[in-house]
Amino acid sequence: MEFLNNFVTQTMVYTTVYTLVALGIVIAGRTGIFNVSGEGVMLAAASSGFITAYLTGNWFLGFLIGALTGAAFGLMLAFIHETFKVNQFILGISLVILGGGLSDLIYKIVIGVRLSAPEAPPTPVVRIPVISNIPIISGFFNQDVIVYFMYAATIVAYWFFYKTKIGLETRAIGENPKAADVVGVNVVRRRYLATIIGSALIGVAGAYLPIAITGTYSPDISAGRGFMAIGIAIFASWKPQRAILGGFLFAAIEVISYQLQLISGNIPYQFFLMLPFVSVLIIMMIFRKQVEFPASVGKPYSRE
Amino acid sequence: MNKEIFVELRNVRKVFGEVVALDNVNFSVRKGEIRGLLGENGAGKSTLMNILYGLYKPDKGQIFIEGKEVKIRSPFDSIKLGIGMVHQVSTLVPEFTAVENIMLGTPEDKLTLPIKKESNRIKKMAEDLGFEFPLNVKARELPAGVKQKIEIVRALYRGAKLLILDEPTTSLVEAEFQQLLKSLKMLVKKGVTVIFITHKIREVMDACDSVTVLRRGKVQGTLEREKMSKESLVKLMFMEKEIKVNESALPKVELPEVEKSKEPVCVVKNIEVEASEKTPGLKNVSFEVYGGEIFGIASVSGNGEKELAEAMIKPSILKSGEILINRERVNGLSTLKVFSKGVFYTPEDRIKEGILPDGSIKENVLLGHHAEERFLKRNVFIDWEEVRNVSERVVKDYNVFTPNVEIAIRKLSGGNIQKVIIGRAFVNPIDFLVTHNPTSGLDISTVEFIFEKLVEIRSKGGAILWINEDLDELMILSDRIGVIHKGELKGIFNRDEFDKYKIGLLMIGG
Amino acid sequence: MAEKKDKKVLGPFLRNISVYLIAILLAFSVFSILVGLMGFNIFRALRTLTTTSFKSAFGFQETIKKTIPLIFTTYAFTIPFMIKFFNIGGWGQMLMGGTVATVVGLSLAPLNLPAIALIPLLLISGILAGGLFALIAGYLKAKYDINPIISTIMLNFVAALFVNFIATAPRFKDPLEGHPITIPLPKSATLPFIGGIPSSIIFAILAIIFVYILIKKTRLGYEITAVGYNLFAAQTYGINFAKTIMVTFLIGGALAGLGGALEIMTIHGKLIEGFAKTSGAQYGIFGILTSLIVAGDPIGVPIAAFLMSVLLVGADALQRTMQIPVELVFLSQALIVLFIVVIRKKFSVRR
């Protein structure tokens, strides 16, 4: 029981990272923008967010700057794609490289090399009175505020896309931008908004890594999660409610791989560490028949 | 009818790259009339209306509604001004139902999803118009005629006072066209003005109170109903006075007497192609095509005709049944192997499926022939010299207007591209040509050229399977016409039995 | 008449060059501003960045040493990119090539085979390892429609862990080294330097010729090009998409694997964890940047790879002599690519 409790608690922490990034990709994807820059955005936001939190001693500012960093990348992606019609994947990969370079650069310049790694201020934890005592379920709720933010973001995204007319219109853009355009929906503006907001969520996830999980920034702190989140978005058929399930699944696999490593025995531990990466591929293989894409995702739209 | 001018476009100019699509166009419509906008493919009709609807920005020109100048920057503006448009290709969201599609973009209740409330309103409006369609079925599962009705209701739902229809009969058969006419007359009674874009003279004469003719981006004239006649309209539509044209504005090409081959070149026996959510597939289709004949296939788009074309050259998609070419079973063969048996193909969508747009003409002519010994050295290397020679011959024989065979094929006009695609089919002598909508979107002289080529192939003993969306065209050149509906071959008509109404009825399952 | 003809040929050529010039100008401007803000001498920095490769024999040799693996990882990205797929796995494929070559070399060491047998064996194992590793991603796309961006990146992580496994395995690891490194390969499994330049350059040149002939002259090259132009038309006329996907990944991975094997055999003589990196960043990443600079055109690769290496050598020099972080140069390189990609699109839209 204790083990399960700890497992859930630990998994939800990583679920937050995976889910926020996946949500960011889903939101933009629903307007037709396939955002693969997540890994770079996470790194840039991890760096800028951590530095802010460390220098100001304020966790909230750290996450805010992380979100703004993400938003800036989202703005770049939307702008270059909509204005110059550059291929979304080329753009996304370029931003990954840009984000990665920027993150190490800023950190080197501002913090430099230190004997002991600087520590971030703690993020407040919220304990809900009665639920805190229920075993296992408490694991979902004895968490810091960003985890709750992730829950809220998922619910809001679901409500927006499936329970409002404005969400219906936004989804229409992803299915057939021409159809949305001819009824007067402002395709370009919604794409900008969706990409910026989505990227801001990715930024929050990126900042979460050094501020709340490890306590300090290190190069490659995102460890491929930004790319795995792309897999989650696909496997979730671009639905927010499924993205959180996918996030939980991948987080669970990551946590399990750490545990297995400790009891590895005869199998070299490296193979357990390979588990999350191989699992992404296996999951995508198994579920490929059930996957639906917004029909126009990845393709630019122009009227003429 | 009110003589007041409702909408006016003044001095409109629109240029695409180096092509002048509209040159100083002045166009106005009166309240309550059905105005035809007539011209051949590429005349600029859709472009002009897209400017009015806000999808294109004019380089020069002004728009006036009821005498006041307006700025239309996007469909948002035009819809607000009471303009609605139904495009030639459906602009519904395939994944959404009729109700969801019609609700899309409406200004009230943005933060809720009042499906029930809007369903009732939509149902009532449709009934008022005499339209019937399922409210909660995804658009992608509905036939073209039904989708069009939904799009008309969508426009009217937003209070359109001007309804623009762009080539509405593309996916309609004769019976449906008559129904549409009735609906339009009813709309006019309710105070709606209609602009009817088409390239078919007969439709204008059936439906319109007046007609404006466009040719190569310039207005040639506007005629009232009393002055409309086939001759006067043909004269305004076409520059080439030498082309003889029928009442559908199609070239009149003679079909000479040719002796059919004794044995059929192609035999199709009980073939079946799997249905999916996008297509009915094919069920138990059988027919034969003889040498020296053009066998036309008529269908409304989306009834399995695409799968028929595909099955001919990619028999691996067959679930059951067999196809024989010159008595030989081709069922298990790859496309290239089928080609080697004396078959070739020109696909429906010339840009999407027919050419390599950034590739040179050379590279395009090689496509489909790239496994032939003739073009290979030691089976691994391409003999580009031979490819160049053959390409130059194609360009010459098919009157393709191009400086050389090295330039990218996308720089050619649509008609010249189609000529290369057809020329490519005859790089080697073949017995059987499968061609799908070869003339769609082309200007009249290219259509005439293609018709003449088909007749030439037929005269030389070739067999042609001609799958075409336009029944008028099929009736000009086919020896026999087969009708495909919901994946089944519903009937075959001999040339002396051709009846547009009867065939059309069969095409929609009547 | 002659003048008009010259203008027609000159036009597109000038346009291409100006794309590069404007992009480099913009990126170097950003670089200069950042360098100036950090308080360094801008001119000295720019000079160091661009001329270190040419100021000394050592500089030039270092540049060649970087160009060789870069050519291989650039081709690894470029070949699949011709059919619009993104092989981000150049790094992982290089790692697998080098690692498998090392394993083969160390396993066969007791047999004391002569160089003439050992070297081809190691090169072939590198080629096969890289090729088959990339083929996994190609197959996953062809059969399961899995986006190669995801699969190749996941496989990169797997490859890195595999390298760590081999380099720390009791059988192979060098007990005297603190960092994961294997025991050295037998001398007959290594390739020499000639005049300060690694002899692996011969294979790089062979690779360039191979790619050129493949793409421009063979039927397979035509099929790949056709699919890249228009997948639907290519399929309609009998080209097998699944086969083309797998072949391009196989070839791309094979070249990266060859590059990896050559790096081990020429430069290091043993498997060192982190061998496929330069100044701390993966050759795979620079391969992607280089490929995007030449818009995936296999012919422009060698020159672009050389120029990229000039900047990389300059980056090392900047850090060494002026304490300017290498990341600043990496950032500028990423910016060059972004600017090129955007400007190129802008110029073609006008046409």
Closest CB to B356: pick one of C218, C219, C229: C229
Domain span at residue B343 reads 291-310+335-481+489-507
The predicted structure's pLDDT at residue A129? 65
With tokens 């330039």, the residue in question is B407
CB neighbourhood size of B203 (10 A)? 23
pLDDT of B241 > 70? The answer is: no
- A4-18 pLDDT, tens digit per residue, is 888 998 999 999 999
Average pLDDT, chain A: 92
CA distance C278 to C78: 20
Average pLDDT of span A237-246: 96
Residue A97's φ and ψ, nearest 5 degrees, are -65, -40
Count helices and strands in chain C by DSSP H and E runs: 13, 4
pLDDT of A1 > 90? The answer is: no
Asked if B376 and C217 come within 8 Å (Cβ–Cβ), the reply is no
Asked if C230 and B380 come within 8 Å (Cβ–Cβ), the reply is no
- B56 with B135, same domain: the answer is yes
Q: Distance (Å) from the C-alpha of residue A254 to the closest C-alpha of chain C?
A: 14
Which residue of chain A comes nearest to C142, CA vs CA?
Answer: A285
Chain A residues within an 8 Å CB radius of B101: 179
Asked if C229 and B371 come within 8 Å (Cβ–Cβ), the reply is no
- B210 with B358, same domain: the answer is no
- B40-82 pLDDT, tens digit per residue, is 888 999 999 999 999 999 999 999 999 999 999 999 999 999 9
Chain C residues within an 8 Å CB radius of A105: 325, 327-328, 330-331
- Would you list which residues of chain A are within 8 Å, Cβ to Cβ, of chain B? 162-169, 172, 175-176, 178-186, 295, 303-304
Q: Give yes or no for B191 touching A (CB within 8 A).
A: no
The predicted structure's pLDDT at residue C3? 43
Q: pTM value?
A: 0.93
Under a CB-based contact definition with an 8 Å cutoff, are residues B83 and B53 in contact? yes
- Confidence at B479, pLDDT banded by 50, 70, 90: very high
> Is residue B503 one of the residues assigned to a domain?
yes
Closest CB to C237: pick one of B367, B376, B379: B367
DSSP B105-144: T-SS-TTS--HHHHHHHHHHHHHHHT----SSSBGGGS-H
Which tokens sit at B49? Answer: 């209306």
- Percent of the residues in chain B that have a pLDDT greater than 90, as a whole number: 84
> Is residue B162 one of the residues assigned to a domain?
yes
- Percent of the residues in chain C that have a pLDDT greater than 90, as a whole number: 86
- B295 with B195, same domain: the answer is no
User: How far is C-alpha C351 from the chain's CA centre?
Assistant: 32
Name the CA dihedral angle for A101, A105, A111, A113, rounded to a multiple of 10 degrees.
Answer: 90
> Is residue B92 one of the residues assigned to a domain?
yes
- Confidence at C264, pLDDT banded by 50, 70, 90: very high
> Is residue B254 one of the residues assigned to a domain?
no
CA distance C147 to C149: 5
CA distance C112 to C186: 8
- B165 with B297, same domain: the answer is no
Chain C residues within an 8 Å CB radius of B356: 226, 229-230, 233-234
CB neighbourhood size of C272 (10 A)? 22
Under a CB-based contact definition with an 8 Å cutoff, are residues C233 and B351 in contact? no
The predicted structure's pLDDT at residue C296? 87
Q: Give yes or no for C341 touching A (CB within 8 A).
A: yes
- B304 with B234, same domain: the answer is no
Asked if C218 and B380 come within 8 Å (Cβ–Cβ), the reply is yes
- B120 with B10, same domain: the answer is yes
Q: Distance (Å) from the C-alpha of residue B228 to the closest C-alpha of chain C?
A: 42
**Final residue of a structural domain among B223, B238, B253:** B238
Average pLDDT of span B22-34: 95
Residue C37's Cβ-count burial label (10 Å; 0-12, 13-18, 19+) is exposed
> Is residue B23 one of the residues assigned to a domain?
yes
Asked if B96 and A168 come within 8 Å (Cβ–Cβ), the reply is yes
Closest CB to C233: pick one of B335, B356, B370: B356
- B354 with B502, same domain: the answer is yes
A·C CB contacts under 8 A: 105
Chain A residues within an 8 Å CB radius of B59: none
Chain C residues within an 8 Å CB radius of B367: 226, 233-234, 237
**Stretch (H or E) spanning B222:** strand B218-224
The predicted structure's pLDDT at residue B31? 94
Query: Is the Cα dihedral C290, C294, C297, C303 positive or negative?
Result: negative
Interface confidence, given as ipTM, is: 0.91
- Confidence at A130, pLDDT banded by 50, 70, 90: low
The predicted structure's pLDDT at residue C349? 60
Asked if C325 and A108 come within 8 Å (Cβ–Cβ), the reply is yes
Q: Distance (Å) from the C-alpha of residue A176 to the closest C-alpha of chain B?
A: 6
The predicted structure's pLDDT at residue B238? 86
The total number of structural domains that make up chain B: 2
Q: Distance (Å) from the C-alpha of residue C231 to the closest C-alpha of chain B?
A: 8
Under a CB-based contact definition with an 8 Å cutoff, are residues B56 and A303 in contact? yes
Chain A residues within an 8 Å CB radius of B76: 184-186
Closest CB to A176: pick one of B16, B94, B158: B94
- A189-206 pLDDT, tens digit per residue, is 999 999 999 999 999 999
> Is residue B104 one of the residues assigned to a domain?
yes
**Final residue of a structural domain among B210, B238, B266:** B238
Instruction: List the 476-505 stretch of B: residues with Cβ below 8 A of A.
Output: none
- Confidence at C7, pLDDT banded by 50, 70, 90: very low
Closest CB to A285: pick one of C144, C328, C342: C144
pLDDT of B207 > 80? The answer is: yes
B·C CB contacts under 8 A: 65
User: How far is C-alpha C162 from the chain's CA centre?
Assistant: 20
- A159-185 pLDDT, tens digit per residue, is 999 999 999 999 999 999 999 999 999
The predicted structure's pLDDT at residue C91? 97
- B302 with B155, same domain: the answer is no
Chain C residues within an 8 Å CB radius of B381: 217-219
CA distance B483 to B480: 10
Chain B residues within an 8 Å CB radius of C233: 347, 352-356, 367
Task: Tell me which chains share at least 3 CB pairs under 8 Å with chain B.
Answer: A, C
Q: Distance (Å) from the C-alpha of residue A84 to the closest C-alpha of chain B?
A: 17
- Confidence at B2, pLDDT banded by 50, 70, 90: low
- Confidence at C351, pLDDT banded by 50, 70, 90: very low
Average pLDDT of span A286-292: 87
Which tokens sit at A176? Answer: 């057939």
- B366 with B440, same domain: the answer is yes
- Confidence at A132, pLDDT banded by 50, 70, 90: low
The predicted structure's pLDDT at residue A21? 98
Asked if C222 and B357 come within 8 Å (Cβ–Cβ), the reply is no
pLDDT of B277 > 80? The answer is: no
> Is residue B327 one of the residues assigned to a domain?
no
Q: Give yes or no for C33 touching A (CB within 8 A).
A: no
Select, from the ranges A225-229, B16-20, C342-346, the one with the highest average predicted confidence (pLDDT): A225-229
Average pLDDT, chain C: 92
Asked if C234 and B367 come within 8 Å (Cβ–Cβ), the reply is yes
**Stretch (H or E) spanning C334:** helix C326-350
- B386-428 pLDDT, tens digit per residue, is 999 999 999 999 999 999 999 999 999 889 999 999 999 999 9
Tell me how many degrees the CA angle A59-A61-A62 measures, rounded to the nearest 5: 60
- B305 with B224, same domain: the answer is no
- B164 with B96, same domain: the answer is yes
Query: Is the Cα dihedral B280, B286, B287, B288 positive or negative?
Result: positive
Residue C267's Cβ-count burial label (10 Å; 0-12, 13-18, 19+) is middle
**Final residue of a structural domain among B198, B220, B238:** B238
- Percent of the residues in chain C that have a pLDDT greater than 70, as a whole number: 96
Instruction: List the 307-366 stretch of B: residues with Cβ below 8 A of C.
Output: 313, 334-336, 339, 345, 347, 352-359, 363, 366
* Coil, helix or strand at residue B103: helix
Q: Distance (Å) from the C-alpha of residue B367 to the closest C-alpha of chain C?
A: 6
Q: Which residue has the higher pLDDT, A120 or C94?
A: C94
Task: Tell me which chains share at least 3 CB pairs under 8 Å with chain A.
Answer: B, C
> Is residue B260 one of the residues assigned to a domain?
no
Q: Which residue has the higher pLDDT, C145 or C7?
A: C145
pLDDT of C85 > 90? The answer is: yes
The predicted structure's pLDDT at residue C11? 67
- B417 with B345, same domain: the answer is yes
Interface test with C, best of B343, B352, B353 (most C CBs within 10 A): B353
Instruction: State the CATH number of the domain containing residue B92.
Output: 3.40.50.300
CB neighbourhood size of A299 (10 A)? 12
Average pLDDT of span A131-136: 70
Average pLDDT of span B239-257: 81
* Coil, helix or strand at residue B70: strand
- A209-220 pLDDT, tens digit per residue, is 999 999 899 998
Q: Give yes or no for A280 touching C (CB within 8 A).
A: yes
- C160-211 pLDDT, tens digit per residue, is 999 999 999 999 999 898 899 999 999 999 999 998 999 999 999 999 999 9
CA distance B72 to B78: 6
Asked if B109 and A179 come within 8 Å (Cβ–Cβ), the reply is no
